[in-house]
């Protein structure tokens, strides 16, 4: 029976795919991970939530996983605004 067991990581991955999420995020902003590098910490944190990948307006990270698509749109708007400001300067 153990040979047919499904890992928690696999269950989470399937759920994310089914509901069209891009990855996981920690609600206190401590971390986020994309589907292709799911749970690099090695363990699923009980507080992690599904989310959507978007840009980091601060430029400090390659990406941020946001809790909603609205948050992703807001981040994209902020990045575009910053780009326009740099072009004007």
| Residue 62 CA neighbour count, 13 Å, CB half | 3
CB atoms within 10 A of CB 24: 24
* pLDDT recorded at residue 64: 96
Q: How far is residue 26's CA from residue 15's CA, in Å, rounded to a whole number? A: 17
Residue written as token pair 């067991």: 5
* pLDDT recorded at residue 13: 94
pLDDT tens digits, one per residue of 44-78: 788 999 999 999 999 999 999 999 999 999 999 99
Residue among 69, 36, 77, 29 nearest 53 (CA) = 69
Dihedral angle of Cα 1, 11, 63, 54, to the nearest 10 degrees: 160
Residue 4 has pLDDT above 80, yes or no: no
């Amino acid at each position: 029976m153990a040979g047919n067991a499904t890992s928690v990581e696999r269950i989470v991955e399937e759920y994310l795919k089914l509901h069209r999420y891009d990855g996981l995020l920690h609600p206190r902003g401590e971390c986020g991970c994309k589907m292709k590098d799911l749970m690099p910490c090695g363990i699923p944190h009980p507080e992690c939530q599904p989310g959507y990948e978007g840009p980091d307006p601060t430029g400090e990270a390659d990406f941020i996983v946001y809790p909603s698509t609205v948050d992703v749109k807001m981040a994209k708007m902020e990045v575009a605004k910053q780009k326009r400001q740099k072009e004007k300067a």
